[in-house]
Structure 1
């Protein structure tokens, strides 16, 4: 408890989000001085009053930082100050009313109401036992009950708002993580595919350099065009506005595979496709082609897209080498990103490795952008 008080003295007296209200509430202590409107207190009484205020203020400010059982001692201290001054100063009930307001520090409202009832019952019992004037207990009941209830309700609302704020911060944090993952997936697909294509075309240009300078120039021009296109797509991916059309991606895949002497056989039905599903399929095709160019040593790639009921079914396969470590392939960034995109669109992905690698994607037609 002493360590808590030390930290209180080192920092703000009340939580910043509460504003200046708690300081203004201290103006209620003016009731303690009504008694002295007709004459000044004796030096001893003035000293005791100053000492009481010095004891009360740390108790009061601590109620804004301590919760539940730890605040019981603070309320008891305020009650004791009120009880000690009650026989000599009618305004001493203010200390007890502040104790009623401190019941808002309980996390559970029912505990706050229970504490409020105990404070009021103790005040009633003390007034009866000491023969205090009826006006003393009436003033405490008339002011302490509404102040205590209002404070408990306000504390409950404040805690609810804080929980809501924390949830909003958590949602924002998760959104930032999701955005970083999206950029990571998109950059992996973009750069992996493009760099593989550039490497193949550069190798082809090297072989043609001495035999066909015109063909070499065309390949170098293609490398430049591909690099500029990749740069534009990277910028779009970081901005979050990249949408890839499947037909366009299929044409790029055909060109990339042709440069590696891989024949592409495509069977794509013509039907209206949701934008999200089309983007997922395009990126899946790009990743599959990148894997073929890098690892498969294939001569033929087959792509089919058809509509079956309420689903879009996409099949991508090759006749290259099947990966030896299938689990490592499934854990790779490309396939993991593909699975995440398909799952986010409400679909599923199956992977089969036989004489080559086969991917099958199922996406709902109801996927929306």
Structure 2
């Protein structure tokens, strides 16, 4: 019972496909066109309900399966269409759905052969229609819509799989870079603090032994401990400053690598100037998030990144030539909300414009401190 509830709760179609697969079910309206001018009998209504009860789960399943199971879904759709063609020429819809299911076949050659097979089965099914005009009404959608829909679905699936592979590769590169950076930091801290802390420990032990025998010598050792501790603190601060300075540089390097992997041409105009650690962190994270959005969602071929200092304000501008054309095309997800919140936390602001692509402008006071 719990399993049935989970299935009914969904999702019925993988979330990466969005809402469009549900919208395409409206094409079944072609099957109901007949009943505008001819009322169905009780038996035909029962058979129609049974057909939909079988087809709808089959349609949803076609988005989850692959390989020979996809071929099974396509064949089942064609059989449903062939069973209905004699009584309702709107059964051509089932052949169109069957062609779209070819997206589950990874090999282009196999997908094209499967679509051709659907068209052929549609032609054979049309032989059941005796009236020439009705036969033509059945064949027109199959001959004009089936091939474009099938090829479009296959190309869309290939593009989706390519993007997923690219994202996995990008995540792997970022993960390896994070591990390498952690190892580098641990080595640096060991080199910085290992000697200093060992020296402080030895001098503290010596001062403890001298405290009852030679106060002057003990005072000198305590002074050395203070000097060594201050020196170690200065080295740690210098190291942390170095890491912060490399934060934006690392984000830029990661952006170049991600855009290059996605075959997006980069136009970079980045000025070098001092930034407070908090401001640099906001700029670096915004750059990383914006480039990730370009790679994942924009479908862009070109991307420009500029960073300049304008009257004490660091201005980051990122623009792409992707699909965004209006405010409705901008996805206000967690990434953009996070950018706005981080910018606001240091007195900055984020602006977005959708024209011939998406334009992002981040303004952060360069001298903000934590």
TM-score of Structure 1 vs Structure 2, range by shorter chain: 0.5 to 0.7
Aligned to 1:70: 69
SS in 2 for 1:72: helix
Contact conserved, 1:93 with 1:140, CA < 8 A, in 2?
Answer: yes
> Deviation string for 1:307-341 (max 9, x for gaps)?
xxxxxxxxxxxxxxxxxxxxxxxxxxxxxxxxxxx
Aligned to 1:162: 164
Q: Aligned equivalents of 2:55 and 2:241: distance in 1? A: 57
Q: 1:224 aligns with which of 220, 226, 229?
A: 226
Contact conserved, 1:236 with 1:242, CA < 8 A, in 2?
Answer: no
185 and 235 in structure 1: CA distance in 2 versus 1, 3 angstrom threshold: same
**1:190-269 equivalent positions in 2, closer than 5 A:** 190-210=192-212, 212-231=214-233, 233-234=235-236, 241=243
Contact conserved, 1:183 with 1:238, CA < 8 A, in 2?
Answer: no
Q: Aligned equivalents of 1:155 and 1:51: distance in 2? A: 30
Which stretch shifts more, 115-124 or 45-54?
115-124
* CA deviation after TM superposition for structure 1 residue 179, in Å: 2.5
Which stretch shifts more, 107-116 or 94-103?
107-116
Contact conserved, 1:82 with 1:93, CA < 8 A, in 2?
Answer: yes
Aligned to 1:123: 122
> Deviation string for 1:321-362 (max 9, x for gaps)?
xxxxxxxxxxxxxxxxxxxxxxxxxxxxxxxxxxxxxxxxxx
145 and 50 in structure 1: CA distance in 2 versus 1, 3 angstrom threshold: same
Aligned to 1:19: 18
Let me know the Cα RMSD of the aligned residues.
Answer: 2.7
* CA deviation after TM superposition for structure 1 residue 218, in Å: 2.9
**1:1-369 equivalent positions in 2, closer than 5 A:** 8-9=7-8, 11-128=10-127, 133-210=135-212, 212-231=214-233, 233-234=235-236, 241=243
Contact conserved, 2:210 with 2:217, CA < 8 A, in 1?
Answer: yes
> Deviation string for 1:226-272 (max 9, x for gaps)?
334435645665676289xxxxxxxxxxxxxxxxxxxxxxxxxxxxx
Q: Aligned equivalents of 2:145 and 2:224: distance in 1? A: 84
Contact conserved, 1:191 with 1:230, CA < 8 A, in 2?
Answer: yes
TM-score by length of 2: 0.59
* CA deviation after TM superposition for structure 1 residue 207, in Å: 4.8
Contact conserved, 2:98 with 2:118, CA < 8 A, in 1?
Answer: yes
Contact conserved, 2:92 with 2:122, CA < 8 A, in 1?
Answer: no
Q: Highest Rg: 1 or 2?
A: 1
178 and 121 in structure 1: CA distance in 2 versus 1, 3 angstrom threshold: same
Q: Aligned equivalents of 1:209 and 1:157: distance in 2? A: 75
- Which runs of 5 or more structure 2 residues have no equivalent in the other structure? 246-370
151 and 205 in structure 1: CA distance in 2 versus 1, 3 angstrom threshold: same
195 and 157 in structure 1: CA distance in 2 versus 1, 3 angstrom threshold: same
Q: Aligned equivalents of 1:71 and 1:47: distance in 2? A: 28
242 and 62 in structure 1: CA distance in 2 versus 1, 3 angstrom threshold: closer
Contact conserved, 1:97 with 1:140, CA < 8 A, in 2?
Answer: yes
Q: Aligned equivalents of 2:78 and 2:236: distance in 1? A: 68
Contact conserved, 1:8 with 1:62, CA < 8 A, in 2?
Answer: no
Contact conserved, 1:63 with 1:71, CA < 8 A, in 2?
Answer: yes
* CA deviation after TM superposition for structure 1 residue 7, in Å: 7.1
SS in 2 for 1:241: helix
> Deviation string for 1:256-289 (max 9, x for gaps)?
xxxxxxxxxxxxxxxxxxxxxxxxxxxxxxxxxx
Contact conserved, 2:85 with 2:129, CA < 8 A, in 1?
Answer: no
* CA deviation after TM superposition for structure 1 residue 57, in Å: 0.7
